[in-house]
Every structure is written in structure tokens, then in C-alpha cells.
Amino acid sequence: MSLSFEHTTLGQRVLFGSGKAAENLAAETSRLGAGSIMVIASDFEMPMARTVAAGIEVTLWHNEVVMHVPIETAHAARDAATNARIDLIVCVGGGSTTGLAKAVALETGIPIIAVPTTYAGSEATNVWGLTEAARKTTGVDDRVLPVTVIYDAELTLSLPVEMSVASGLNGMAHCIDSLWGPRADPINAALAAEGIRALAQGLPKIKNDPAGLPGREQALYGAYLSAVAFASAGSGMHHKICHVLGGTFNLPHAQTHATVLPYVLAFNAPHAPEAEARAAAAFGADTALGGLQALRELLDAPRALEDYGFTEAGIAEAVEVALPAIPASNPRRVTADNLAALLTAALNGADPKTLTDLS
């Protein structure tokens, strides 16, 4: 069978090294010739951000970070950057922090250096997201792609095991979605498979040795690969569902992705045999779902959306909002009925295998 596809590789500098974040940030801001720097970090991450930025001159510190990036929060950060004549943004934190930096860049074009402290992967994509009036909107714009990502596994040591698991499985969701996203191709499939392998190896090491660097380095590496694959393949069924659950119902981002993932995998896998086989091989398992579920059991991963505030009363609205956004290229036809069944199973933490035979 001949190959025929179109692939775009995003241009981004990656600096990876444990204990080297401050050194790499100082060198990179100098290389970019930054004159007025804004550092974005949440209150929790601010002490770490000040340590990372100890070697640079910071014009503006900004700590108003809110999950799912409400548009009011984005406008406040944009105005602060504009008033201070910022020419470089440094964001230190997880997906919400990176998302806020992207929201500023979207309107101003100010370049970003991202210093991730979780396994969210947002730092390696040109995807932005904003929430307004209980609706989360996402889009693609190269202005929001950080020019440089600085990975330092030491910065993730303070991330508790429970959040590390949820964040890492969020990265795993990027990988799985990339196997059947609207622009899926052999290159991002290869990246996604390696991302699955790295995360599947790294996350158990974090659980067994939270203070050790090897597992956290593997997880960061896997998270980067997952995000690069996702940026190329585009947002698939899983992410469209989770964006609705987050934006409309304010469910926590990482835990929601970690919970929904096995249900989307069970739903799609029988209709995408090549993708399923690739994922299974990456897990080192007979089936992709079996590999994922074995990993989730080992990690004591999030199990039910009801644990995070979602209720049966929200299913109809979630279906109404999510259904039109799911790509027509999804391997399996999605209807209001089978999407409601998927959400009901995820709500209750039912066995994902029940979804494989849905019509």
C-alpha cells in the first residue's frame, strides 16, 4: 500500500535538562534579545517561577491564573502586558498557565518561553482555548506556539503523585486522539506511539518513587511527544468531549481527560484496527484498551466523572454541545444516543467494554 499524506512540523526550540531551567532560561532570553519580560505563574507556582527566573530581569510578575482561561482573565493579562510594553512572556506552570500566556500572545503576538511543571503538553502546540459564558472555544494559531520550551524534571517533583497520574494520562489522551484525529498521518502516529510508550513507563516510576527523576523525565519526554503529535493530527473526539466538560461544567482538566480516555478508546478502537494495533504495541499489550486499563489500575487513576461534580442532569447538555464539534472523520459514527451512553458510562465509572457493541 502506497503512502500519501501531508504533514506540517511546527518550528520550536526545546531545551531539556534536569536542574538546568534557570540556566537555560537566562541563555534563551539573552538569545532572543528580550528587553521587557513578563512572567506568568499561579500563586502556587510563583516561588518556583522566581527561582527559575533568578537570572533574568523581570518587568512584570502576573499571577492571575484560572483554569480553562476565562476570557476576562485573558483580557486582564493582555492589558497588563500591553501597558508594560512586554516583548517576551515566560510562563512557568501547568496547562492553565500556558493557556493564559497563549491567550495574551493570540492578540498581541508577543513570543512565549514555556517552562512546564506538569505533563499537560500545551507548551508544544499551537492550539489555544478560551472560556466565555460557560462555553470553551478552541482554535489554532501559530502566534500562540511558544518559541522555546524549557523542560526540567526537577520542577515537577512538587507535583503530587495523584496529579502526576492525571496530568500524564492527559498526555496519553493526546497520543490516543492523534491516532485518529482529523489530520492523522504516519509521522504523528509514530510520535504518538512513542509518547504512549514513554508515559506508560514513566508514570509507574513516579508512583513508586515520587522523588526520583527517571520517571519524571520519561513522563516529560512523553508529554512533549504527545503534544507534537496532537498539534499535527488535530483535536479528535476525546478532546471535543473534554473541552465541553471543562468549559461548560468547570470540571478539572487533567482528571476529566484521565477519566474519559478509556471510554473513547473503547468506543473507537474496534473501528480503527491499525490505530488500535499501534497503541497496543506501544503499551506492550494484546489490546490497546487492555494496556490502558492495566496501566490505570496500576496507577489508581481517576475512574468516574461523578467524583468531580458531573451529574446525570448534565448529560443532555453535554451531548448537545459536543456532538456538532466531533470531527466527521471519527472512526465510528457518533450519534446523540451513543454519545450519551459514553458519558453515562464515564459518569458512573462503568466498564468501558460495554461501549464496544453500541450501535
Residue 8 lies in a domain: no
How far is 292 from 276, CA to CA, in rounded Å? Answer: 11
Q: 182 and 149 share a domain?
A: no
Q: 76 and 187 share a domain?
A: no
How far is 225 from 229, CA to CA, in rounded Å? Answer: 6
Residue 109 lies in a domain: yes
- The tally of domains found in the chain comes to 2
Residue 35 lies in a domain: yes
DSSP label of 57: -
Residue 7 lies in a domain: no
Nearest CA among 138, 165, 323, 326 for reference residue 231 = 138
Looking at residue 2, its pLDDT comes to 78
Looking at residue 359, its pLDDT comes to 57
CB 287 within 8 A of CB 276: yes
pLDDT tens digits along 7-52:
888 899 999 999 999 999 999 999 999 999 999 999 999 999 999 9
Least confident window among 1-10, 109-118, 281-290: 1-10
pLDDT surpasses 80 at 1: no
Residue 5 lies in a domain: no
Q: 25 and 172 share a domain?
A: no
Residue 127 lies in a domain: yes
Strand partners, 40: 62, 91
Q: 151 and 177 share a domain?
A: no
Over residues 219-227, the mean pLDDT reads 96
pLDDT surpasses 90 at 269: yes
pLDDT tens digits along 304-358:
999 999 999 999 999 999 999 999 999 999 999 999 999 999 999 999 998 877 6
Q: 195 and 315 share a domain?
A: yes
Strand order in the sheet with 88-93: 13-16, 148-151, 112-116, 88-93, 37-40, 60-62
Q: 226 and 333 share a domain?
A: yes
Q: What is the CATH number of the domain that holds 123?
A: 3.40.50.1970
Q: 117 and 178 share a domain?
A: no
Q: 280 and 168 share a domain?
A: yes
Residue 6 lies in a domain: no
Provide the domain limits for residue 64.
13-156
Over residues 285-314, the mean pLDDT reads 97
Got the DSSP string for 236-259?
A: -HHHHHHHHHHHHH---HHHHHHH
Q: What is the CATH number of the domain that holds 344?
A: 1.20.1090.10
How far is 206 from 157, CA to CA, in rounded Å? Answer: 9
Rounded to two decimals, the pTM is 0.92
Q: Hey, what long-range contacts does 82-87 have (CB within 8 A, 24 or more apart)?
A: 82/108, 84/36, 84/38, 84/59, 84/60, 85/36, 86/36, 86/37, 86/38, 86/59, 86/60, 86/110, 87/34, 87/35, 87/36, 87/37, 87/111
Over residues 221-249, the mean pLDDT reads 95
Final residue belonging to a domain, choices 156, 190, 219: 156
Q: 83 and 177 share a domain?
A: no
**Which grid coordinates are listed for 47?**
516561588
Residue 279 lies in a domain: yes
Q: 173 and 148 share a domain?
A: no
Q: 171 and 142 share a domain?
A: no
Final residue belonging to a domain, choices 141, 156, 171: 156
**Which grid coordinates are listed for 172?**
496519553
Q: Calculate the average pLDDT of the chain.
A: 95
**Which grid coordinates are listed for 9?**
512540523
Final residue belonging to a domain, choices 156, 178, 193: 156
Q: 123 and 172 share a domain?
A: no
Calculate the CA 281 to chain-centre distance. 22
